Amino acid sequence: MGELRRLAMVSLHTSPLDQPGTGDAGGMNVYVIELAKRLVRHGVEVDIFTRATSSALDPVVEACDGVTVRHIHAGPFEGLTKHELPAQLCVFAREVLRTEAAQPVGHYDLVHSHYWLSGQVGALARDRWGVPLVHSMHTMAKVKNAALAEGDTPEPAARVIGEEQVVEAADMLIANTAQEAQQLVELYAADPARVAVVHPGVDLDLFRPVPEAEARTALGLPRDADVLLFAGRIQPLKAPDVLLRAVAELVAREPARRARLVVPVVGGPSGSGLDKPQALADLAAHLGIGDLVRFVPPVSQTELAQWYAAASLVAVPSYNESFGLVAAEAQASGTPVVAAAVGGLTTVVRDGHSGLLVPGHDTAAWADALQRVLADRAFQDRLREGAVRQAQRFSWEGTAEATLDVYARARHALAAAS
């Protein structure tokens, strides 16, 4: 087979250079760039293909030594939703193939695609270049449609079909958790021998315990506040409304606590979520807690680490998460997590040790969980210690090493079949 020298990553619908927490940028963006940087340390050069969303973007950007981001022109720069992107797959794929054709034969040794749209392009490149395809789903339509938030839009049949095609085409599939691996097998008829579990990681140098008082001073937060943080895209799937309703219930139970509560919502509206981000502010006002909620635009990873460290707890009430990077980052910062007992969150959060898992999205149950953490400082401190220990299970270096093993399996499988 030879050595793995150069890798083509495909991340069609969202660029690893985009700011996480707004548009369609989120955990997958962090995953792609962090994995790429760690692969470089193992001697692998990485080209990341993504769709250009502005004419001002340079066609080729060196993200760091060994990692190149290539902006592919396919369709209008702005205004396209993920549901409209399938119409641009042919143009995008053509430009990816054209880029490779300008290089010496055998330029790429493997393709790693992220999300089903990228997998469609990756499957074509696999066949054209004669190299293996490794695919990461990140989210799956059948899973999402089985647990829709109120007011959310079901994923279309075209995506379901597209995902089934990618599962069949890929030489190896990477699942974030054992539960996701099981879903690939049961819902998509994936061959268990071609599914590998590789946990995403956390930047443990950036997300680390910092004194709460220090972080709060830097952010202008009261030192004696109960800070209940939501971080992520504002969309029905992420369910920030669940936190707001639980806070309103908490205030109704304990009116005296109101003076100490601060509820920061850090992030922007999703490109495919709430069309009017004002809706969440309107809900807060309707619930009578508008004065407690602070809306903070998406921030850098460095500032996000400060928000985690400043929080009394981080709420992750999502209806589904393939992993739950926010929960992992918060725990690495030494902050307890109160999360919905769904998807990858049941792997990331250790119930009763690093945070609390709440079955479902019932307002009273969520208020109970928030109250339990806030009412007992000793319990909160134990969760903080447990959160740091739990986060040590997830590092990007470990993710890269495990991913390289999957790449080797995919290359051996293709070589054996040739």
50 — alpha (psi -120 to 50), left (phi > 0) or beta?
Answer: beta
| Whole-number Å distance between alpha carbons of 370 and 141 | 31
| Rounded-to-integer distance, Cα 353 and Cα 346, Å | 12
Decide if domain 6-201+396-417 falls under CATH 3.40.50.2000: yes
What pLDDT is attached to residue 167?
98
Q: Which residues fall in the annotated binding site for Mg(2+)?
A: 308, 311, 335
Q: Where in the chain is the domain with CATH 3.40.50.2000?
A: 6-201+396-417, 212-392
- Annotated binding residues, written as ranges, equal 13, 19-20, 24-29, 82, 115, 139, 159, 233, 238, 299, 308, 311, 321, 329, 335
The CA–CA distances, whole Å, from 37 to 30, 31, 166 equal: 11, 10, 25
**22-51 average pLDDT score:** 89
Distance of CA 149 to the CA centre of its chain: 18
The letter for the amino acid at 112 is H
Which positions ≥6 away from 68 have C-beta within 8 Å? 45, 46, 47, 48, 60, 61, 62
Tens of pLDDT, residue by residue over 295-327, are: 998 899 999 999 999 999 999 999 999 899 999
pLDDT of 292 reads 97
- Look at residue 275 and tell me whether its pLDDT is greater than 60: no
Q: How many residues does the chain have?
A: 418
Positions at the binding site for UDP-N-acetyl-alpha-D-glucosamine: 19-20, 27, 233, 238, 299, 321, 329
According to CATH, the topology of domain 212-392 is Rossmann fold (3.40.50)
Binding residues for 1D-myo-inositol 3-phosphate: 13, 24-29, 82, 115, 139, 159
Residue 19: predicted pLDDT = 65
**DSSP codes of every residue in 104-164:** PTT--SEEEEESHHHHHHHHHHHHHHT--EEEE-SS-HHHHHHTPPTTPPPPPHHHHHHHH
Tell me how far apart the alpha carbons of residues 333 and 348 are, in angstroms, rounded to a whole number. 14
Q: Please tell me the predicted confidence (pLDDT) of residue 23.
A: 58
Q: What is the pTM of this model?
A: 0.90
Q: Write down the mean pLDDT value for the chain.
A: 92
Pairing of β 67-72 and β 60-64: antiparallel
* In the chain, % of residues over pLDDT 90: 80
Measured between alpha carbons, how far is 134 from 82 in angstroms, rounded to an integer? 22
- Distance, in Å, from the CA atom of 356 to the CA atom of 315, rounded to the nearest integer, reads 10
pLDDT digits (tens, 9 = 90+) for 189-239: 999 999 999 999 999 999 999 999 999 999 999 999 999 999 998 888 899
